[in-house]
Structure 1
Amino acid sequence: MPKIIDTKVNLAFPLGHHLHCLIAQLPNHLHKTSGFHPVEEQQQWQAINSVLELVAAGEGNLKKLHFLLFPESSLPVSCLDQLLATVDQGFRPNTVTMIGVEHVSLREYRRYLERFKADNQAAIELVDQDIDSGDVLDMPVNWCLVLVKEADSRLRVFLEAKSHPFHGEEFIDKYHDLYRGRHFYLLRSRASCFNFMAIICLDYLYRDLYSSNIKQIIDHANQLYFSTRQGLDALFVIQCNPKPEHQAYRDVVSGFYGEYLEDTPGVRETVTVFGNASDETLLEGVPLSTGFGQSSVVINRHHRLEQVVSEEFVADDFAGAPVCRLRFGRGTRLLYFNLPLHHEIDPRSSRVPLKVHAILQRSAEEGWEKVQSATFVGGI
């Protein structure tokens, strides 16, 4: 199982007020050679950059944005420096950007770890153990960036590699098989006590005979709670997933929040955010699927979230799971909402803890415009 690396970051989030998150549910168009790569790099970058420019401009209440989430494998690696420059120069302090990056070889991934060595020394040690143990440098890596612009405007760059492939990333030839990542970061923000993680797609589900990624996260969060009375506040799952409604996700969500066999105070108040690619996604070399989209936010069942249906989202319990879930549609959208406060410390007796602030769609001018207020078509 991957190692969880506790890392302190300097984020001064507003105390006693909810935080804001934007999911960029954008399409991916990828082809498969050794790993997955964008078919049209410039077009892919333009879509990403349009979101970055919108956030940097901060129109409306986007100035309050704290977390920005892009899909898995969405950033062309040739555009990485442009992304870093935009976030460093244009974003406000106390913002976190999470984005999946085009597959690269382990050799190249190791170079990026070295480039950002100040923030990834512990990860380098784990990767070097794999490099020393075998001929693995040409294996493809599915990886992501977690960019933290701290309260003093310092930009920190964390790298993670996916620990478990989906069927399109596995090969009988082990040199084309996906490299298995060895670490997750648990980012613990100070001065405000807010702890969060980002993982990639099937890392949420992976298990073997002895353990599972999610059980390891729960146990680590519980130990954090027992020693500091803090828990895991948010778990972000970066996806390019054609089956977001698969039974396996419901099973893990139920186990994560259900507390069926033991108390799990470390994750009881965790907000889980699944950020997927939109239904315009096309993976060449993989059987056609129309199941992309449906990014979602999952919170504990003790929150009061009315079950409703609208044209752009549904609030439900994920087919009877012990949760409240806000599930969005499949189209290309920017989804802006708040992360709820802890249930126990919200002083109101009647409340809607999770609210959608805005949903944006592409405009005719290749920008973004608000979707008009979604019409409610009935309760559940």
Structure 2
Amino acid sequence: MLHIVEKDIEVAFPQGHHLHALLCQIPNRIERSDRGFRIADPDQQWARIESIFELVGTGSGNLKKLHFLLFPESSLPADRIDDLLRLAETKLHPNTVTIIGVEHIRLADYLRLLERFQADNEEALASVRTDQEAGEIEQIPVNCCLIICKEESGRLRIFLEAKSHPFVGEENLDPFHDLYRGKVFPLLRCHPTCYNFMALICLDYIYRDLYRSNISNIIDHANRLFHETRQRLDLLAVIQCNPKPEHAAFRDVINGFYGEYLEYTPGVRDTITLFCNASGETACEGLERAGSFGHSSAVIQKRHKLEKVDLPEFSSDDFGGLPICRLRFGQDSRLFFFNLPVFHELDPRTTRAPLKIHSIFQQLADDRWTRIESDAFSWPSTESRAGSN
């Protein structure tokens, strides 16, 4: 079961104003290897990631206001980590957070990363060293992500997180090919703005055992945070490479997370949950016919009253009657740039739009990203809504 550790970072988000996220629904092409799974086309994948950083660096489409940059699970070639950090240092503005999944690496390599960035990962490093004492596990695969925080001073803070719950392709009877289970999960607390967020990797969102679940641990920790400091968990980012992003297990956890059926949960009541999945062009060896990738989404509490629409690039709904508002994207490879809502109490008007999509980008044949004309995904105007009532 996950152990949450709080980490303070000097990221100064604008106070009292909504933040902005770029959700990168890009394809993954993954094949089996001696270390679990690896990216089948690492050069092409890196070129795709690099082009996104170039786009963000130019500030196209109001991207200078970007605060959160999200990539899918297992989307970064492991030998490009240093190149990624260089891009984060040179292309991103201060006060920007990047969350990106790394292809499978061996535990020995993960340990070296923890040692390299020990100042930000002491608890995770201690956990891995404790596990090492139980046996020879250096060669088992690790599915991990990087949380890269560019502070107001420009300094990079790098946090690592290992996935705790494998999907069927990551489980193996051979103990040297079975996925390593991560145990330490950082909760990042931004100062001086008082904004708190976490990241999870796919099935870690729904994992539970006989005694507890990951999500109940997160709720309890967020509630304690609220009662002690009157702060909340503001954002929960779930990165995925998931052929079944709308499986009933995810729906059930979302329902329990926002429902407050048995008790009040003020620590997560206003949490924004972002699911960043790989696009419908994704291919994973052994899972070709397992389902459909894509359909990344943003989920907020029902009090925000998000208007229901159904457009070619996205739709909005309540996920089949849940106490939420969900912005659901399609399957195509796209970059979605939108704002994250502020607390409902700060602007309780029923006519407001808590989520606004500022830009949607698609990739051209020459690897450049171009903005899709807004007429293809515009919300209905206020006048048209009034006329339809």
TM-score over 0.5 for the pair: yes
- After superposing the two structures, state which structure 1 stretch, 338-347 or 307-316, moved more: 338-347
| AA aligned opposite 1:6 | E
- After superposing the two structures, state which structure 1 stretch, 35-44 or 269-278, moved more: 35-44
Query: Identity over the aligned pairs, expressed in percent?
Result: 56
- After superposing the two structures, state which structure 1 stretch, 77-86 or 341-350, moved more: 341-350
- CA distance in structure 1 between the partners assigned to 2:81 and 2:378 by the alignment: 40
| AA aligned opposite 1:3 | H
**Aligned pairs for 1:244-263 within 5 A:** 244-263=245-264
The 8 Å contact of residues 362 and 369 in structure 1, kept in 2 or not, is answered as: yes
Shift of 1:364: 3.4
- CA distance in structure 2 between the partners assigned to 1:9 and 1:138 by the alignment: 33
Given the superposition, is the C-alpha separation of residues 200 and 375 from structure 1 closer, same or farther in structure 2, using an over 3 Å criterion? Answer: closer
Given the superposition, is the C-alpha separation of residues 209 and 14 from structure 1 closer, same or farther in structure 2, using an over 3 Å criterion? Answer: same
The 8 Å contact of residues 71 and 238 in structure 1, kept in 2 or not, is answered as: yes
Shift of 1:133: 1.7
Match of 2:227 in 1: 226
- CA distance in structure 2 between the partners assigned to 1:312 and 1:287 by the alignment: 24
Match of 2:194 in 1: 193
- After superposing the two structures, state which structure 1 stretch, 14-23 or 29-38, moved more: 29-38
Shift of 1:347: 5.6
> SS state of the match for residue 46, structure 2?
helix
Could you list the per-position Cα deviations for residues 293-345 of structure 1 after superposition, in whole angstroms to 9, with x for gaps in the alignment? 00000000111201110000010000111100000000000011111001112
Q: Which of 373, 376, 389 in structure 2 is aligned with 1:374?
A: 376
Match of 2:180 in 1: 179
Match of 1:8 in 2: 8
Match of 1:31 in 2: 31
5+ unaligned residues in a row in structure 2: which ranges?
none
Number of residue pairs aligned between Structure 1 and Structure 2: 379
Match of 1:126 in 2: 127
Match of 1:327 in 2: 328
Could you list the per-position Cα deviations for residues 339-362 of structure 1 after superposition, in whole angstroms to 9, with x for gaps in the alignment? 100111226453110111111111
Question: Given the two structures, how large is their TM-score scaled by the length of structure 1?
Answer: 0.97
Residue 355 (1) aligns with residue 356 (2): yes
Shift of 1:230: 0.4
Given the superposition, is the C-alpha separation of residues 123 and 377 from structure 1 closer, same or farther in structure 2, using an over 3 Å criterion? Answer: closer
**Aligned pairs for 1:56-205 within 5 A:** 56-205=57-206
More strand by share: 1
> SS state of the match for residue 191, structure 2?
strand
Match of 1:21 in 2: 21
Could you list the per-position Cα deviations for residues 139-170 of structure 1 after superposition, in whole angstroms to 9, with x for gaps in the alignment? 10000000000011010100000000000100
5+ unaligned residues in a row in structure 1: which ranges?
none
The 8 Å contact of residues 279 and 290 in structure 1, kept in 2 or not, is answered as: no
- CA distance in structure 1 between the partners assigned to 2:139 and 2:366 by the alignment: 42
Shift of 1:137: 1.3
> SS state of the match for residue 101, structure 1?
strand
Match of 1:50 in 2: 51
- After superposing the two structures, state which structure 1 stretch, 343-352 or 148-157, moved more: 343-352
- CA distance in structure 1 between the partners assigned to 2:253 and 2:348 by the alignment: 30
| AA aligned opposite 1:23 | L
- CA distance in structure 2 between the partners assigned to 1:336 and 1:263 by the alignment: 32
- Hey, which bits of structure 1, 4+ residues long, moved more than 4 A? 375-379
